[in-house]
């Protein structure tokens, strides 16, 4: 976000005036002005106060002293002095011009506009007043009026670089990007070292989907003004969009060292910390921002994000709604309201929130993606037409924006049965995402082999020494295999709390002590863990779940990738229940390929890589079946759940050591938050579709089917089961 609203207005630093004074006072004013120009502010101030002591009604002295105290940071006193000058002599346009700018800087926009208009009534051709009034209109989102004033200022003063830069800002706000760039270039031609113009040009380039050029402009701006928080923040936001979160965080931290009380910087830092999964740090940054600006819409929105990540949906929704109340056209807050409502199962209200976000900012393609996940499209859907129109403007989209839009379009075309068009969008979307991430396939696939080697029968036959609690239930499998559906069935039971996808196991393993002061390595160091360490690991996990649900008999953790830790889970939590969900590999992989995951699933954006990952997963699950105690892991076929929901649900509930409850077959009625890519589907009862979804795309799946090998089965055999709402999209 550009800091262009703080673009410098032309506050006159001199006290040139048409007022005639007696020679001694005239000479004294001239000397005070010389002190001011030379930077001798104390001497200039003292001399002006001497003049006013002798002539309290000297308008030029009041005005000049106002300029001086403004420069030393005494804004309220400066406003009072210049206003007094306008009372003494209201015929000087420059007095009103500078009063207006000072009022603007004090946040008094109405007073600023009134003073600027008085200046122009006296002198319609005063470029500084035209520029300053333009800035007020810009800050009021009155961009056409701003453009008109800036154009008049630059016509009267063709050398006025600041007005050209401000004109660029207003044109950028009107999405007239080429004209905006021309205005910035004119400003830079007049002042090649104009750092603010470069900064604002960078934001225009970012809006145009030209991130590399934007970063270059920001870096050029910082080379001229290394300590400019605005440019540091803008470069950080550009890097955030490219998912370079560590670099963005470093820039924002540097910006705060320069201006520790910059609420915008703190707000941006909160958002980046969330991207880094550092929720506590994000909360601290957002809280600091809100302490500075308690009702700022962007700060409220950032804290709403924090509460959302802390699974406090009520608090998040309240914050997002406060943000909208403060700024009704805040598209991102409307989108976030939609996200909370979708998670809570209020799909109609969620769609309305997304539609409002799209209406306010049709350039943000992420809103289309959220909307697409919350509905089934028809050919006449106006949002489909809007997405297609946006896609025709691809040259103005960043790579990530195009990626999001293509995923959304693919969902729409799939709903409509336009499968070739859907896959063309998926191919481009996944390629765009794949080029942005670092995925070391050799290392990742090697981890599977290391786990199988480390967790042999000897290790897993050790005497049980972990925490024996029966509280945890782990639901594991590939993403998009049906884990959300199984958890929803279980969480509908009154004795079960569905905690969703938890990172607890991974976090606790990362914090295990290593040998000799070296960090613990998983899986290589698993055999070195003592009974006490395993018991402590299990106890720590159980304590986390007990805090989430103090009265529950079971707490589900449906992080799919916990299949990587099943051996360690058995050693640390021998009383835990484990459910492994399996779905047709072809449907599972296609469903993965169809989603832009919020949590990274970096193996899923290339068909061949996805197939090879699935094979390794299947090998590891076969290993767990061989080495873990019989009956420890319940394997549930997604297709079986669809074919006979009650029988499957009874089997799942019994495995968890619970009595049967009929709520489990009315899972779609459960009013609990669901935060996965299947949040919309599990709000519907079981339904049947034609056959395996992958068949509609069979001609496009060659690399996947080849990588799956025998796991792909007989591609010509008819599908045996229908799809279901859990994760069948």
Q: Which tens digit of pLDDT belongs to each residue from 540-586?
A: 999 999 999 999 999 999 999 999 999 999 999 999 999 999 999 99
Residue 171 pLDDT greater than 70, yes or no: yes
Q: Which tens digit of pLDDT belongs to each residue from 42-61?
A: 999 999 999 999 999 999 99
> Distance between CA atoms of 615 and 359, rounded to whole angstroms?
44
Within this chain, do residues 549 and 461 fall inside the same structural domain, yes or no? yes
Residue 688 pLDDT greater than 80, yes or no: no
Position 296 scores a pLDDT of 96
258 domain-assigned:
no
| Across 392-415, average pLDDT | 89
Within this chain, do residues 475 and 607 fall inside the same structural domain, yes or no? yes
Q: What is the β-pairing status of strands 472-476 and 633-637?
A: unpaired
Of the chain, the percentage scoring pLDDT greater than 90 comes to 80
Q: Where does 437-478 have alpha helices with state H?
A: 441-454, 457-460
How many domains are contained in the chain?
Answer: 3
- Structural domain ending residue among the three candidates 400, 434, 468: 434
83 domain-assigned:
yes
Task: Give Cα 707 to chain centroid, integer Å.
Answer: 34
Tokens of 184: 């910035």
546 domain-assigned:
yes
268 domain-assigned:
no
Within this chain, do residues 445 and 429 fall inside the same structural domain, yes or no? no
- Candidates 508, 495, 567, 560; CA nearest to 539 is 508
Within this chain, do residues 404 and 522 fall inside the same structural domain, yes or no? no
- Structural domain ending residue among the three candidates 434, 468, 484: 434
| Across 246-266, average pLDDT | 96
725 domain-assigned:
no
Better-scored residue on pLDDT, 178 or 462: 178
Q: Locate tokens 């106006």: which residue?
A: 382
Which helix (H) or strand (E) is 579 found in, with range?
strand 577-582
Residue 94 pLDDT greater than 70, yes or no: yes
Cβ-proximal residues to 66 (8 Å cutoff; 6+ apart), any chain? 77, 78, 79, 80, 81, 82, 85, 98, 102
Give the count of beta carbons closer than 10 Å to the beta carbon of residue 348. 9
Position 720 scores a pLDDT of 29
Position 243 scores a pLDDT of 81
At residue 457's C-alpha, the angle toward residues 455 and 460, to 5°, is 65
- Candidates 159, 194, 154; CA nearest to 170 is 154
260 domain-assigned:
no
Residue 279 pLDDT greater than 90, yes or no: yes
Residue 137 pLDDT greater than 70, yes or no: yes
Q: Which tens digit of pLDDT belongs to each residue from 600-650?
A: 799 999 999 999 999 999 999 999 999 999 999 999 999 999 899 999 999
Residue 242 pLDDT greater than 90, yes or no: no
Q: Which tens digit of pLDDT belongs to each residue from 526-551?
A: 999 999 999 999 999 999 999 999 99
Within this chain, do residues 464 and 410 fall inside the same structural domain, yes or no? no
> Please, which pLDDT band fits residue 673 given cuts at 50, 70 and 90?
low
> Please, which pLDDT band fits residue 7 given cuts at 50, 70 and 90?
very low
Residue 721 pLDDT greater than 50, yes or no: no
Lowest mean pLDDT among 386-400, 579-593, 661-675: 661-675
Residue 453 pLDDT greater than 70, yes or no: yes
> Is this structure's pTM higher than 0.85?
no
State whether residue 580 is helix, strand or coil: strand
Position 397 scores a pLDDT of 77
Position 245 scores a pLDDT of 92
| Across 366-393, average pLDDT | 91
Q: Which residues pair with residue 497 across a beta bridge? A: 555
Within this chain, do residues 622 and 707 fall inside the same structural domain, yes or no? yes
Arithmetic mean of pLDDT over the chain: 90
Within this chain, do residues 427 and 483 fall inside the same structural domain, yes or no? no
254 domain-assigned:
no
Are 409 and 391 a contacting pair, CB within 8 Å?
A: yes
Better-scored residue on pLDDT, 374 or 624: 624
On the question of a cis peptide bond just before residue 523, with omega within 30 degrees of 0, the verdict is: yes
Position 728 scores a pLDDT of 39
Q: Where does 494-644 have alpha helices with state H?
A: 504-510, 531-548, 566-572, 585-593, 607-627, 638-643
Within this chain, do residues 445 and 418 fall inside the same structural domain, yes or no? no
Best mean pLDDT range from 10-19, 433-442, 443-452: 443-452
Within this chain, do residues 529 and 610 fall inside the same structural domain, yes or no? yes
CATH number of the structural domain spanning residue 592? 3.40.50.300
Better-scored residue on pLDDT, 368 or 12: 368
Within this chain, do residues 478 and 378 fall inside the same structural domain, yes or no? no
478 domain-assigned:
yes
Position 212 scores a pLDDT of 85
Within this chain, do residues 123 and 62 fall inside the same structural domain, yes or no? yes
Position 718 scores a pLDDT of 31
Better-scored residue on pLDDT, 35 or 681: 35
| Across 158-163, average pLDDT | 97
Residue 723 pLDDT greater than 50, yes or no: no
Lowest mean pLDDT among 120-134, 216-230, 491-505, 671-685: 671-685
> Residue 423 belongs to what domain range?
291-434
Position 666 scores a pLDDT of 84
> Please, which pLDDT band fits residue 722 given cuts at 50, 70 and 90?
very low
> Please, which pLDDT band fits residue 86 given cuts at 50, 70 and 90?
very high
- Structural domain ending residue among the three candidates 415, 434, 453: 434
CATH number of the structural domain spanning residue 409? 1.25.40.10
SS3 annotation, 371-438: HHHCCCCCCCCHHHHHHHHHHCCHHHCCHHHHHHHHHHHHHHHHHCCCHHHHHHHHHHHHHHHHCCCC
Residue 145 pLDDT greater than 60, yes or no: yes
Q: Which tens digit of pLDDT belongs to each residue from 420-437?
A: 999 999 999 999 999 988
Position 23 scores a pLDDT of 43
Residue 158 pLDDT greater than 90, yes or no: yes
Within this chain, do residues 584 and 657 fall inside the same structural domain, yes or no? yes
> Please, which pLDDT band fits residue 674 given cuts at 50, 70 and 90?
very low
CB-based burial label for 454 (10 Å; 0-12, 13-18, 19+): middle
């Amino acid at each position: 976000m550009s800091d262009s609203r703080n673009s410098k207005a032309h506050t006159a630093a001199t006290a040139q005036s048409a007022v005639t004074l007696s020679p001694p006072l005239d000479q004294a004013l001239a000397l005070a002005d010389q002190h001011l120009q030379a930077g001798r502010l104390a001497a200039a101030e003292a001399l002006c106060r001497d003049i006013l002591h002798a002539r309290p009604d000297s308008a030029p002295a009041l005005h000049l002293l106002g300029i001086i105290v403004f420069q030393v940071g005494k804004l309220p006193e400066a406003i009072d002095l210049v206003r007094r000058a306008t009372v003494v002599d209201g015929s000087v346009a420059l007095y009103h011009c500078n009063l207006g700018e000072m009022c603007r800087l004090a946040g008094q926009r109405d007073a600023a506009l009134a003073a600027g208009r008085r200046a122009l009534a006296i002198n319609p051709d005063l470029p500084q007043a035209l520029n300053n009034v333009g800035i007020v209109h810009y800050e009021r989102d009155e961009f056409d009026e701003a453009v008109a004033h800036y154009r008049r200022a630059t016509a009267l003063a063709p050398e006025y670089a600041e007005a050209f830069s401000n004109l660029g800002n207003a044109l950028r706000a009107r999405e007239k990007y080429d004209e905006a760039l021309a205005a910035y270039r004119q400003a830079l031609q007049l002042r090649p070292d104009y750092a603010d113009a470069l900064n604002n040009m960078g934001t225009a380039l970012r809006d145009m989907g030209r991130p590399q050029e934007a970063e270059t402009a920001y870096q050029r701006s910082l080379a001229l003004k290394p300590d400019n928080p605005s440019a540091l923040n803008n470069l950080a936001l550009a890097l955030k969009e490219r998912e370079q979160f560590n670099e963005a965080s470093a820039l924002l931290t540097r910006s705060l060292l320069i201006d520790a009380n910059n609420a915008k910087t703190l707000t941006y830092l909160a958002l980046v910390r969330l991207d880094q999964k550092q929720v506590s740090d994000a909360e601290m940054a957002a809280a600091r921002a809100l302490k500075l600006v308690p009702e700022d819409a962007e700060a409220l929105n950032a804290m709403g994000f924090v509460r959302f990540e802390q699974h406090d949906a009520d608090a998040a929704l309240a914050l997002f709604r406060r943000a909208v109340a403060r700024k009704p056209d805040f598209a991102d807050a409307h989108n976030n309201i939609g996200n909370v409502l979708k998670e809570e199962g209020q799909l109609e209200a969620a769609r309305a929130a997304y539609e409002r976000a799209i209406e306010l900012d049709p350039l943000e393609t992420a809103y289309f993606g959220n909307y697409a996940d919350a509905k089934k499209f028809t050919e006449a859907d106006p949002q489909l037409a809007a997405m297609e129109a946006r896609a025709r403007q691809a040259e103005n989209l960043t790579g990530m924006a195009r990626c999001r839009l293509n995923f959304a379009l693919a969902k729409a075309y799939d709903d409509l049965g336009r499968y070739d068009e859907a896959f063309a969008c998926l191919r481009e979307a996944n390629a765009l995402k794949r080029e942005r991430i670092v995925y070391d396939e050799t290392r990742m696939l090697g981890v599977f082999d290391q786990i199988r080697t480390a967790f042999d029968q000897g290790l897993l036959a050790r005497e049980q020494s972990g925490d024996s609690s029966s509280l945890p239930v782990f639901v594991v499998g590939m993403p998009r295999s049906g884990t959300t559906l199984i958890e929803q069935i279980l969480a509908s039971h009154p004795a079960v709390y569905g905690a969703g996808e938890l990172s607890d196991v991974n976090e606790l393993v990362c914090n295990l002590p290593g040998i000799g002061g070296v960090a613990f390595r998983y899986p290589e160091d698993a055999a070195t863990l003592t009974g006490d360490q395993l018991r402590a690991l299990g106890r720590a996990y159980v304590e986390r779940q007990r805090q989430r649900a103090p009265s529950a008999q079971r707490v589900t953790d449906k992080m799919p990738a916990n299949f990587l830790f099943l051996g360690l889970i058995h050693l640390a939590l021998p009383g835990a229940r484990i459910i492994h969900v399996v779905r047709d590999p072809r449907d599972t992989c296609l469903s993965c390929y169809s989603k832009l995951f919020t949590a990274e699933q970096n193996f899923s954006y290339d068909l061949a890589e996805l197939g090879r990952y699935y094979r390794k997963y299947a090998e590891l699950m076969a290993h767990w079946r061989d080495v873990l105690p019989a009956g420890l892991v319940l394997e549930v076929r997604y297709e079986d759940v669809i074919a006979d929901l009650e029988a499957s649900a009874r089997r799942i509930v019994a495995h968890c050591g619970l009595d049967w409850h009929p709520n489990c077959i009315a899972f779609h009625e459960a009013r609990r938050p669901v935060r996965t890519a299947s949040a919309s589907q599990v709000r519907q009862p079981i339904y049947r579709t034609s056959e395996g979804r992958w068949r509609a795309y069979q001609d496009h799946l060659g690399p996947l089917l080849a990588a799956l090998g025998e796991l792909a089965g007989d591609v010509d055999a008819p599908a045996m089961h229908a799809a279901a709402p859990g994760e069948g999209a």
